[in-house]
Chain A
């Protein structure tokens, strides 16, 4: 005889989700993740929209990752319409995406995850128990926002990123200001990494499934998926490889892959596929819960990478460029980018007039659903407990390790 336990809303994650705990007798025997976010039906909303409207609308899928949605959408559109952007635009977009990575990771580490380790309910609690950490987190987060704002015009839903280029190119003084901020933050990151590595383990060791990440381009960018199983999937085949299916208990589609293997995307997966030498030890065979450490390491990488991009841009000398001209034409384009939470795919088809006739958007949290549920089940089994509250707390923490972005998943 089984019955389901109380379903609580998930907190300190983006969007609306629940965990359903199934009990057999008094023992919790199974868990299920419900992403019951209200769908906005973006893929349907985009149909019939002209090419220059698609990215503006699509970035509204999610606020935390709006910059990367915008850039992914633009790249897919440009590919479909055969638009080439200047190298400067490419670099600036990369920088904006790195800014998003910094903001999102700082938000997760300091505001959403750290409270779990310090025994408080959220950032207001942190202000009491670890005010310096909160201050540091907010500073890094603000810097990530400033990068996005400098390039995108706004930290959320960046309007300055357009098909073919940018509205206004930031001046060297703006980039220099970013570089100064990045330099300052850079100094503090080794301590942060050490700190996250030193945090006590609170979950039983659960090991992630196979890893999948975008590859073949500069950091976070690329043209194909690479996996820990050695597969290489080109962008235009990625959607069918990810194999999204509708499931009754989730408003987000599930990636079913080949029906056998489950893949993880996101910081741990990315690092797993290219482990930086200095962290090889910490990360080799790391459990799901080391995602906090993974994010701290990625934060450092994002800061380093941003500094490098700025150096390049400043050395080349910034030009005020007009966006590349667009001649509407029919075509299809698919872009892959690493969003903070993992693989993001935007794919569009346009007709002769440049009107969107097909849209497919696959987001990291949707891809991760299978991995999250698998881990939840493993956790419940590992705990083998009748203490409902204990299981519930552990499950919530586990879900947070994946930093799900449910608005993205259900879009």
Chain B
């Protein structure tokens, strides 16, 4: 694949998830490109181009699919993402990827897994969750902790509620505040995300944690996980930085001497130890 040239793709469907976030399904116009773009690891990302506006890094949000459909969950916040609010089926976009390192699935073999998502961090973790459920027998206990500002901001709530019917996964939700009119989902507490770690029963030497959330919560989550006895190489975090090229050239996404795009975006806590500003 040419490093600068996005492959042509088309939006096939759009689902509004919350007031400011939508789930897009895309299809590549070209078979080879589709194959390349849809063989990814959860936690990896691609570069999405919106013609006339620019290109942005977005995490894969679904499963690698045989038919080449790609799911992306996008929050409408700025120059490129806001106009995507107006985009609909049939609109042309461009894709480059997959880029970066995802979550180390092979290292998770036989481990208990603790997935912790904050806000939009659910996007890459959904991909991981779906991958884990897809090969459920390879892993031990599965736990998902997911927090958002308010009930209305919880992404993929319908899917998560469906999953709570299964016995092989534990799901705990948290919201900072609950809207008056809404009755919260059954397994949802009014609490800050790190509070869900309090007293969580895990076996630290058999558990790996995968985190994705806004930078501000990482420090608290990490402290909580350490409290539970997890060592740094069992904690994986997905970082977000400004990115332009996605392939380690433009120089914007440095984290210490790592580049977030090519060395990350998923790092182990051990890797990030002592790096100024890594966990903000």
Direct contact of A and B (CB under 8 A): no
